[in-house]
Amino acid sequence: MKPKVIFMPHANIQYSQLAPEKRLWVMKNCYEKLFDLIDGGDYKIAFEASGITIEEMAKQAPEVLAKLKKLVQEGKVEPVSSPYIHFMLSNIPKQVCVHSLKHALDVWEKYVGKRPKIGWNPECGWASYIPEVYKECGLEALVMDADSLMLSFDEIRRATGLAFDVQGHSNKNHLFKIEEYIKDKPQFLKFITNPSVAPNGLKMIFRSDCMANLLLWYLMGATEGMREEPINMNEIRNMLGNWQERIAQTGSFIMPYAEDAEYIGSSAYFYVKQFNQARFFEEEPDSVVRFKEILDAAKEAGYEFATPSEVLESSEIIENPYVDNIENGVAWHGGTAKAWANTEYSRIMDPVCMSILTGINAVAEKIGWNDELHNAMMALASAWVSDSRWPPAPTSPGRFNVRESLDDMYLANDCIAKAMEMGGIAEKRGLYSPNLMKTQIKAIDDKLMGMSYFGE
């Protein structure tokens, strides 16, 4: 049997520094070009998107969404879902995660006609309850970060010298050290080349920056500051060949690209993340051509394009007793979810969000759940969006990213007030005081809007 290969671009229309007025441009310049590429060739991929990304496509670019729907119907694209809002699941209460993920699945089914069976965890932020969230929402499998799993083994941590720090952005450009250590160790390679199953029964497919980072730098045509020439196609072919040998010895597939769909057609966040430059979502037409070159190179190397579900159906699924060893608070790129929770924006906004959630639950306990309380939960989840809290100094989110979260807090507070009126308990302000909370939101509004933001 041919080794299988999964490519999974993932889309997030709430990206930090992606101005609302440019979101349509990303849909046309990135998502549509990707869909046209897949439609025009003998390719098959997975495509992940948050619920709000699908909904915004339906509103702003229905012709782009129609192309995605067609590819899903034809089996050339498998839909993969994250929560409705792109937030860091491990930094917020499980209740909010479940509510948002269930809504996202409804949105996919409504607009694309198919309910995803595979889940994606934004930024791969980890806490022990993550598998329970996806299992509770009815998903069969979750795409996971192999580097977080590998770094849960002390011997790999020691051998690579990689360490986590809540103030660190990432170890992304150093994760090749993991590959160097495990390349001849089947006891580790098998978790990257086989699907596995967590103790709770949720199936898992692992992606790794050992492969994805190389492909990203090739897409951007950039250097890493340590070489004169950009990564070339021979390096990509060598990487595919190396992993083909490892698959033959240990498993059945690899997932070399589970990265942002926005890098196919634009520079997305590349120059901010790598060089602290105020350059956001510049047009990168050559990256579309290069992504096709990567797909063609995989095909020429003898790989068979597959979706996550096809891999699960055709492969041996091994037990994975090490999932619970992944460190609470880590994220992909060798970074940490707690870094998102430790920015100035998070430290100001998160306590207010928690107060609003406490109010929602107090009112719901008194009168039961009604439409306004559900609306409040939706607005609160939106206020928790990760990209209004990232990145840390010397860069920052866009002012508009923070503004949207503040507006969502006001909306959630208003919805709770309406719910209390509908339930006949408006006077029971011991449960929750919308008027007082409004002044709390205004206080952090003044503080956050009084700050300066990167790129202004």
What string of DSSP letters covers 114-175? ---SEEE-GGG---TTHHHHHHHTT-SEEEEEHHHHHTTSHHHHHHHT----TT----GGGT
Report DSSP state, residue 427. T
Half-sphere exposure of 161 (CA within 13 A, CB side): 4
Over its length of 456 residues, how does the chain's per-residue pLDDT go in tens digits?
899 999 999 999 999 999 999 999 999 999 999 999 999 999 999 999 999 999 999 999 999 999 999 999 999 999 999 999 999 999 999 999 999 999 999 999 999 999 999 999 999 999 999 999 999 999 999 999 999 999 999 999 999 998 888 876 678 888 999 999 999 999 999 999 999 999 999 999 999 999 999 999 999 998 766 678 999 999 999 999 999 999 999 999 999 999 999 999 999 988 888 887 888 899 999 999 999 999 999 999 999 999 999 999 999 999 999 999 999 999 999 999 999 999 999 999 999 999 999 999 999 999 999 999 999 999 999 999 999 999 888 889 999 999 999 999 999 999 999 999 999 999 999 999 999 999 999 999 999 999 999 989
pTM of the model: 0.96
Confidence (pLDDT) at 279: 85
339 CB-contact burial (10 Å; exposed 0-12 / middle 13-18 / buried 19+) = buried
How far apart CA 386 and CA 389 sit, in angstroms, is: 5
pLDDT score recorded for residue 436: 98
- Cis peptide bond prior to 199, omega within 30° of 0: no
Q: How far apart are CA 401 and CA 148, in angstroms?
A: 28
4-7 and 304-305: which strand pairing? parallel
The one-character DSSP state at 389 is S
77 forms bridges with which residues in the sheet?
Answer: 45
**Longest Cα pair distance anywhere in the chain, in angstroms?**
70
Between CA 219 and CA 236 the distance in angstroms is 11
Residue 224, pLDDT score? 64
Residue pair 90/337 in contact by the 8 Å Cβ criterion: yes
Q: How many residues does the chain have?
A: 456
Residue 379: both structure tokens together? 């607005």
Backbone angles phi, psi at 207, to 5 degrees: -110, 160
